[in-house]
Amino acid sequence: MQRLQRLNLSPQTINGIDSNPVTRKQVKLYGDTFNLGAPLDPDELDIFKAQFATLLAAPGSEERKLMLDRLPQYVIALRAIKHALGGPKFNGINPEDTEIGFGHIRPQFTHAGVATYKYTWVVVLAALAAWTDWLFEAAGAPYAIGRDFGLCVTHLKSLVTPNPFMAEARFEVGRTGVLIPIDTRALRQADTENNVAIIPIPSMILIPQASFYAQAKSDLAAASTEEMALGGLIIGKGRVLKEAASAAAPATWV
């Protein structure tokens, strides 16, 4: 937890550029430049440091280690999304409706078809190594993240045991963020201290209304049902975070 406690409000300038995720003004990722707005204020930073630890799993968990390793990316994502929403106050895990907060990504904050909001992480992968649309609006087309929240995706975790089925994934982030395919076969090995099917992927920051698209495939000769969760954080207004899945489109996506 020392990384978390070392977060501070003092700029760290290297070659004239501030590298402190709490205070820097901009960051460029996959061709997109994110303006980060004003630094977090002391109260917001204290809340982040205290409550980020609450979001993490028990000490020794693989996800905890991975999320602590991506701490700078989460701070940058928080600031980018906060700025995109007009700078509302950050108030942690249980914000008021018009404040912003954070939490784990739930399926309902993703799309799998026109106005189709996922209720589980299940995805049916096609046979014979064919690419399958995974998170999308229409065939081959991205969907738009909601107007009042954003995502920071840092890892994948399969809920299928004993052998996950996903072999590769590829993501498109924003207007220019076409990423190379990611090999996810290591999920089958569960090559972690606790034999958990979890792997890090390149960090993706999705501000409100950004486009997002994902495909996946397996190595099997027959169709297979995977249950693959996006690991990371949702950051958004309180009225979004408290929303429960329903048959109707969430109001915050309109």
For 155-186, the three-class secondary structure string (H helix, E strand, C coil) is EEEECCCCCCCEEEEEEEECCCEECCCEECCH
- Which residues, including other chains, have CB under 8 Å from residue 223's CB and lie 6 or more apart? 124, 125, 126, 127
Residue listed under structure tokens 């993240």: 145
- With 0.85 as the threshold, say if the pTM is over it: yes
Long-range contacts of 92-95 (CB under 8 A, 24+ apart): 92/47, 92/48, 92/50, 92/51, 93/51, 93/54, 93/55, 94/238, 95/237, 95/238, 95/241
Each residue's pLDDT tens digit, 136-160 = 999 999 999 999 999 999 999 999 9
What does the alpha-carbon distance between residue 99 and residue 90 come to, in Å, rounded to a whole number?
6
**Domain range enclosing 175:** 2-237
User: Is 250 among the domain residues?
Assistant: no
User: Is 27 among the domain residues?
Assistant: yes
- Which residues, including other chains, have CB under 8 Å from residue 181's CB and lie 6 or more apart? 168, 169, 170
User: Is 247 among the domain residues?
Assistant: no
Backbone angles phi, psi at 123, to 5 degrees: -140, 130
User: Is 32 among the domain residues?
Assistant: yes
Token pair of 230, please?
């996006």
CB 99 within 8 A of CB 87: no
What does the alpha-carbon distance between residue 1 and residue 10 come to, in Å, rounded to a whole number?
19
Each residue's pLDDT tens digit, 58-116 = 777 889 999 999 999 999 999 999 999 999 999 999 999 999 999 999 999 999 988 78
208 band by pLDDT with thresholds 50, 70 and 90 = very high
User: Is 184 among the domain residues?
Assistant: yes
> Which residues make beta-bridge pairs with 123?
226
Q: How many domains does the chain divide into?
A: 1
pLDDT at position 158 is 95
User: Is 244 among the domain residues?
Assistant: no
What does the alpha-carbon distance between residue 110 and residue 118 come to, in Å, rounded to a whole number?
6
User: Is 34 among the domain residues?
Assistant: yes
Each residue's pLDDT tens digit, 25-54 = 999 888 788 999 999 999 999 999 999 988
Nearest partner of 110 among 81, 133, 77, judged by Cα:
133
CB 214 within 8 A of CB 134: yes
Nearest partner of 26 among 17, 44, 12, judged by Cα:
17
Inform me whether the pLDDT recorded for 253 exceeds 90.
no
pLDDT at position 240 is 92
What average pLDDT does the chain have? 90
CB 206 within 8 A of CB 68: no
Backbone angles phi, psi at 126, to 5 degrees: -70, 165
What does the alpha-carbon distance between residue 84 and residue 79 come to, in Å, rounded to a whole number?
9
Q: Cα–Cα distances in Å, from 162 out to 46, 133, 182, 200, 201?
A: 40, 24, 21, 19, 21
DSSP string, 82-126: HHHTT-PPB-TTS--TTSEEEEEPPGGGSBBSTT-B-SSSEEEEP
Inform me whether the pLDDT recorded for 1 exceeds 80.
no
